[in-house]
Amino acid sequence: MDFFEKTLRQTDIYTGRIIHVHVDDVELPNGSTSVREVVEHPGGVSVAALTPANELIFVRQFRYPYHKILLELPAGKLEPGEDPFEAMKREQLEETGTTGENYISLGEVYPTGGYCGEIIRLWACRVTEENHQLHLDEDEFLTPERIPLDKAVEMVCSNEIPDAKTQIGILKTAALVQKGLL
């Protein structure tokens, strides 16, 4: 069966600093119609930065939609036309004060495919330089934190880390380390 849905009409609802929202009328594969609500997002990047002591560098920050402080891998939004790999290295330096080597792509994550087009690109690396000053955005408040990789895996399995990109980054990094690839 062909599952493709054809867009019949798009109605713009909201354009903000980060997202654009539209409602689309679509034709379904069986010929009937439906409505799709879509959030367009420029995409993001994240890095699992692993220290020589096999600790991952995380950030703790308040996430307004959940009204909670979350533990996450360093991450950020892509700027228009920005190369994702360079954006990831920029975010790593800004949020952790570190740089790395042996960057390995962990692929892409579609965090909420039911309504949002955001794609997060993930990498892992070995930290080579530390102690650079953090360069946070003026509306960004976070604290870097180091956690041993094995402990981070346990935290994912015990539901202590709810963030999807962080769970995936931790588990893929652990698999690479186990295979001797990182």
Catalytic residues: 138
Amino acid at 76: G
Q: What is each CA distance from 178 to 14, 103, 104, 119, 147, in whole angstroms? A: 46, 16, 14, 27, 17
Q: Is 25 exposed, middle or buried (0-12, 13-18, 19+ CB in 10 A)?
A: middle
Identity of the amino acid at 80: P
Stretch (H or E) spanning 106 = strand 99-109
Mapped onto helix, strand or coil, the DSSP state of residue 96 is helix
Helix, strand and coil content of the chain, in percent to the nearest 5, comes to 20, 45, 35
Nearest 5°: CA angle at 46, between 159 and 58? Answer: 55
Q: Which residues are paired to 90 by β-bridges?
A: none
Greatest Cα pair distance, the chain, in angstroms, is 59
